[in-house]
Structures are given as structure tokens and as C-alpha cells.
Structure 1
Amino acid sequence: MHHSGRNFVVDLNAHDCSCHAWDLNGIPCSHACAAISWFHGNPEDFCDAVYKKEAYLRAYEPMIMPMTSQDQWMKINLPALLPLKYHKQPGRPKKTRKQAVDEPKQPANPYKLPRYGIPLKCGNCSGEGHNRISCKEPRNPNIKPTRKRKVAKKNLQ
């Protein structure tokens, strides 16, 4: 029984477990290793043949010759290989680099000048260092609001 309370069926003759981990990679899963050790077997005997020493030696049996340097390659009369054509991917492009700490941020509109070094000026009292919203002075009735809000009209019946 598994620690999660589930039961897994292991068939040692078919090299199969119901968790399917043994089927995927060819190495016995923990359930299969428990069953193999129950019968006093060696789990390495139940591994797939591709993991054995003989398969490794067969794969590297022919000697792999080192390659010569590029200046010794045979010259051919074909055009040089070109890179693939650029295909713009859909969606917003990712940032390509991080800005330095002392580098000023780029404005959203390239035709609009940034407000670097210009102090805030209050539209209510004409003081510097704050704006109309954070102004401590009473509201000046001579200043008209910059933007009128639309109020939803309710139908009276």
C-alpha cells in the first residue's frame, strides 16, 4: 500500500506497474523496487536494456574522430548561409534590457517633454511642493474645476 492510501499493482514478469512510471523511463519505480526486494531480487536486473553497460559500449564502439579546424575545411562554391527571416511574434514585446539606476525614464510620448526638475504648483493656492488635491488651504471658489464629471441621471417615474 502506498503512503497516500492507494494500491499499485506490480507485474515483475511484464516489467509493469499501475503507476506507469516504470513504463515511461524503463527504470523500476518505488513500488516495483519494493516488490523486487520482497522477492530478494536486484532492481538493476529489472532495468531496461538501454541502461546497461553493454548498450553503452555498443553505442560508443565505433571511434568518433575529432574534427579538423575550420580553416582546413574543403572550400565549396555555394552561397554563404543566411540567418532565418525575422518573424514578429504576436503580443507585447518583452523588455530587452534593464535601465541603469541613474538613467532617466523615457516618456511615453516622444513629443512631450518630461517634467524633470519642475516643482509641483498648486492650482488652489499657487504654492509649490503640492497639488490641489493635497492642499491644506480652503478651496478657492474662483478656480473652476479642470474636468467635469458626468453624473448618471436617473429616470424619475
Structure 2
Amino acid sequence: MEPPEVHKMVGRPKTKRERERDEARKREGLWSNSRKGLKMSCGHCSAPGHNKRNCPLVNSLFLS
């Protein structure tokens, strides 16, 4: 059984940018941080636990 033929993908190929040697130290390791484990907060009232779409303050403005 032969492997499938390799097809050339459509579109421009993605290339990874080459960083300078000390570029990660300039930004103090911001690339390694992730948003995993962070509490979500609302963009409207800044309260944790919900976002702007489910904000009770925004919904009360539309209901009245």
C-alpha cells in the first residue's frame, strides 16, 4: 500500500518570523504566558464572572 500523493496547498505559505537573540528578554517572556486560568471579567462593568454580552447592567438598559 502506497502513501497518498503530496499535494501543493493553496494560498501563501505561512512563515515563522525570526526573532532577534535578545527579543524575548526585551518583552520579559510575554510569549510564554497564556490566558489559561485567568478569571474572565466584563468589559462594560469590570465585574468578574461574565462578559459584556451577558452583563446584567447592559441587559437592564435594553429591557427598560
> So what's the TM-score if we normalise by structure 1?
0.18
> So what's the TM-score if we normalise by structure 2?
0.39
